[in-house]
Amino acid sequence: MYDYSMENAERERIKNELNKFNWGAFGFGWIWAIFNGAWNDYFPTLLIMIAVVAISKIPVIGPVFRLICPGITIYVGTKGNEWAYNGTKNWESIERFQEVQKKWAIAFAIYFVVGLIVVMFVAIYAAKYYNPANKLCNSYVKEVVSAPDYAKFNSGKDIAEYFVKSNPNMYSLYGEDGDTVFTGGKNKYGDAVKFFKYGDCSLEKYNCYMVYNSVILNIKYQPVRKEEQILIPAYKVFFDDKGKTKFIKIKADIKLEF
């Protein structure tokens, strides 16, 4: 007599296996689907994901649709075993299927760890060596030393007044000494730049420099009160008469004397 109980137990075992999360499908998506015979089931999901990504670029509703993409990826992981086992690839046994999917899971784990390490190294390198203000500050210095009346600039105030007169997006002077300008027009973001000049500029004497801050304003038009400003980490930029520069990062909590 045929033992149906053993057959039912095997079906239940296979069913439990197919209900497990597939990390290969989750991590490698269409690549995993092609190599595991799951393309027919995965393809409609891929089309949905492409449509969601396209819609996510639309203003207003875009951010909402961006939240759907991770959900689709998780869904692929939950359905991966079922799609692959019942797909176009003929598996010798459930054990062989488990063995192959385990290799994909290990590959994803390696991929994830290596990717995480690379991201960490890039972040550390960027934090140490990359200065986001470098290009902007160099452009300020270049404009200063190439000004027609540069030889007549005797102080930071002279430089600040030149910037305000020659640049329509620099709209204010700050401080009693009048040597700070704020750029960005009537936006909530801008650059606070304070200039100092004592004689002929030299990188050996450190006698000419600018202090640069990106500023986010909590009020819209006039950044008047210190308590209404958020100053992002500053840079002190020394320069000489030829436009050469040297950057020094200043403490994050620096306050310009407005």
Digits of tens for pLDDT over the chain (258 positions)? 555 566 777 788 888 889 999 999 999 999 999 999 999 999 999 999 999 888 888 887 888 888 888 899 999 999 999 999 999 999 999 999 999 999 999 999 999 999 999 999 888 777 666 666 677 788 888 888 999 888 889 888 888 888 878 877 765 555 544 456 665 544 445 677 788 888 889 998 888 988 877 665 444 444 444 444 444 557 788 889 998 988 776 654 444 443
**What amino acid occupies position 187?**
N
Ranges of each domain in the chain: 4-129, 134-249
Strand segments, DSSP code E, in the chain are 170-174, 180-183, 189-197, 208-217, 229-231, 235-239, 245-249
Cut 0.95: pTM above it: no
CB atoms < 10 A from the CB of 77, how many? 19
Q: Is 11 helix (H, G, I), strand (E, B) or coil?
A: helix
CA–CA gap between residue 145 and residue 142 (Å, rounded) = 5
Closest CA to 144 of 179, 112, 172, 92: 179
Closest CA to 141 of 245, 18, 227, 231: 245
